[in-house]
Structure 1
Amino acid sequence: MGHDIDGLHHVGHVVRDMERALERYRLLGFTLPPPAYPALPGAAGAPAEPFGAGNTHAYFPRDFVELVTVVDDGGGVVPADAHLVPLRVPDDKLPAVMAAVRGTAENLAACLRRFEGMHILMFDSADVERAAGRLEAGGVGHGGVHAVQRPVETAEGTRMEPVRYLEIDGEDPAMPRGRVPEGRVGLAESPSAELVDAQRRVDHPNGAIGLAECVLCVADGELAEAERRYESYLGRPARGDALTRVFDLGGAKVVLVAASALDRLLPGERAPVLPAFVAYGVAVRDLSATERLLRGNGFPLVRSAGGDLFVPAAQALGVAIVFRQASQPY
């Protein structure tokens, strides 16, 4: 029987200032549309204003990088080109909706209090219901399968496509639902053929074509426990050595690294806290061309233990970004 997790769906980079993050990511060679912000009136009859959190995405054919920020708690200035999405809510429902949005924003604000960087990891699943059943059978708690709407640009214009997802609960009962020690981890439904085609049209100057990996750093004494957790999440064993464990997910991978070995894996990098997602990687069409663009835009580049290039976390708003030559032609 095949696996119910096929790769990475997206990673989420939580930033303090969306305007600054957009500028940095565009210099890194990523194409991102203007960010979207929900808008709600502060009271019945008042004009709608940006509220809660705003986000945008660097889309690849089958996955993406999300940039997300908080409006009220260190979220910085709302960019001038931001797309406001009014939430049409009956007056009697407004307090409940505002409370729910505030809850989401507070979760993101809690991430920023830990550090600015990557706090979200969602795996790709062709069968979220099956994966939910496997997790339950293995004793992994989650909040159930939910659906959200994603905009899809088609030849006929923008339409909304439902995407199903679930978030994994931590084992500590004191932890908020949908959170594990390193952040938000879950599964999301594989994109439809139409969505893949729409995202394939996005061209990134750095040549990025997909997510290749994420790196989670943990205390040395917690590596075995982290491996146990991710083995239960992913439904497969890891490989590696005493200080580094790797889960292969087809075309991508999840790397667990002990804090004492992080410098060996990504020279010069240090985890801001433990545990923490410290890096993510993207595959690119032509690594030499990517290197020229990054150096030309003033970014320092370092070689990883595997020979890939990465921009240090200090230059990328709290998460190291690894660039890897794609193994197959795009």
Structure 2
Amino acid sequence: MGHDIARLHHVGHIVTDMTQATSLYERLGFRLPPPSCPAMPRREGAAPEPFGAANTHADFPGSFLELATCVTDGGTARLPADARLVPLEAPAEVLPVLVERIAETSAALAAYLDRFEGLHIAMFSSPAIDGAAARLTAAGVRHGGVNTVRRAAPTGAKVPVETVRYLEIDGTGPGNGPAAGHDGPAAVREGRVGVVADLDPDVQGARLLDHPNGAVELVGAVLCVADPELAAFRQRYGTYLGRTARQEGPAQVFDLEGAALTLVPASGLAALLPGERPAALPAFVAYTVAVRDLALTRDLLHRNGFPVRETPSGDVFVPADAALGAAVVFRCGPRRVVP
């Protein structure tokens, strides 16, 4: 019997300055489309101005990396010059609700940035999201239910509209502590965690997938927790994922399909990623991408001026203090075929 949560869908890197972040990611060897941002006129007859949240993705066949930031007061100073403004178009009776939701998203991003710049989002991919929602409910995990959003598919896809179905874990349940300081479903303490239906391979294949660093898939995320809380987090994520963790040194590892979530106590982080320290606890501190040729990737990083460290297992990584608060790990691995 298969699992209803299969792999990593995406991680979200929340940044202060999108221009700086996109430049850094391009130097890391990722290809990114111009960020997009909602826009609306501040007064009748005025030109649309950006507000809410801006984001862009580095895409792979079955997953992606998200860069996101909050945009306030119509400001564009921290958006790249090629940022794509998306005017809000909705019926009059729907527009206020849409604006409110975008404002809530922006407030959530601002709250994350108040905590630290870095990784605050981890979403898992499901081939059967309704079944996953039912299982989580039966296990006593609170969540916001399965939501559906639709957006224009990229040029070249066989369908004009991409449908995204997702749920977010509600952090107001036992063991999750206080809300993250924003309206809407409360995030768990480590950030926004949830489940998304598997990406459509046709739609995803129409995106920018050829990265100069040779990256082919998101294959890992690392969550660092206070030592006394490791057992509680292992139990919580075991419930979320419907899987049992295995011990690997000081860490607890949940093996997914071609990927893994690693829980590491604060005392063991330096053993896993030499030199790293968490900005806060609990916190997502690193993600791992598979690349075609690790030597070529390492050479690109050196040429672009990044410090490069090595893990005990032979992976290489750019430390968090050189990558806007998130350690970026590169591992040699084959391309995964997405069903």
Question: Would you say the 8 A contact 2:189–2:282 is kept in 1?
Answer: yes
Q: Which residue of 1 aligns with 2:71?
A: 71
Give me the CA root mean square deviation.
2.1
Q: Which residue of 2 aligns with 1:41?
A: 41
Deviates more, 1:25-34 or 1:35-44: 35-44
Q: Which residue of 2 aligns with 1:8?
A: 8
Pick one of 285, 288, 296 that aligns with 2:303. 296
Question: Would you say the 8 A contact 1:217–1:274 is kept in 2?
Answer: yes
SS at match of 2:211: coil
**Could you tell me how far 1:284 is from its partner in structure 2?**
0.1
Q: Which amino acid aligns with 1:192?
A: D
**Could you tell me how far 1:44 is from its partner in structure 2?**
4.7
Question: Would you say the 8 A contact 1:122–1:186 is kept in 2?
Answer: yes
> Deviation string for 1:117-157 (max 9, x for gaps)?
01000001011100000000000010010112244334378
Residues 86, 98 of structure 1: alpha-carbon distance in 2 compared, 3 angstrom cutoff: same
Q: Which residue of 2 aligns with 1:175?
A: 179
**Could you tell me how far 1:327 is from its partner in structure 2?**
4.6
Pick one of 189, 210, 215 that aligns with 2:222. 215
**Could you tell me how far 1:305 is from its partner in structure 2?**
2.2
Residues 239, 36 of structure 1: alpha-carbon distance in 2 compared, 3 angstrom cutoff: same
Q: Which residue of 2 aligns with 1:101?
A: 102
Q: Which residue of 2 aligns with 1:25?
A: 25
Q: Which residue of 2 aligns with 1:260?
A: 267
Please give the residue correspondences for 1:173-322 in structure 2 after superposition, counting only pairs within 5 Å.
174-175=178-179, 177-199=185-207, 202-241=209-248, 243-322=250-329
Q: Which amino acid aligns with 1:68?
A: A
Separation (CA, whole Å) in 2 of partners of 1:295 and 1:31:
18
- Identical residues among aligned pairs (%): 53
Residues 116, 99 of structure 1: alpha-carbon distance in 2 compared, 3 angstrom cutoff: same
Deviates more, 1:316-325 or 1:76-85: 76-85
> Deviation string for 1:161-195 (max 9, x for gaps)?
10100000112574262411100000101112312
Residues 225, 76 of structure 1: alpha-carbon distance in 2 compared, 3 angstrom cutoff: farther
> Deviation string for 1:302-326 (max 9, x for gaps)?
1112110000001110000000000
> Deviation string for 1:272-305 (max 9, x for gaps)?
0000000000000000100110001111111112
Aligned pair count? 329
SS at match of 2:154: strand
SS at match of 2:287: strand
Separation (CA, whole Å) in 2 of partners of 1:99 and 1:110:
16
Q: Which residue of 1 aligns with 2:164?
A: 163
Separation (CA, whole Å) in 2 of partners of 1:94 and 1:253:
40
Residues 89, 46 of structure 1: alpha-carbon distance in 2 compared, 3 angstrom cutoff: farther
Question: Would you say the 8 A contact 2:291–2:334 is kept in 1?
Answer: no
Q: Which residue of 2 aligns with 1:87?
A: 88
Deviates more, 1:313-322 or 1:83-92: 83-92
Q: Which residue of 2 aligns with 1:112?
A: 113
Deviates more, 1:120-129 or 1:142-151: 142-151
Superposition TM-score, scaled by structure 1 size = 0.94
Residues 267, 189 of structure 1: alpha-carbon distance in 2 compared, 3 angstrom cutoff: same
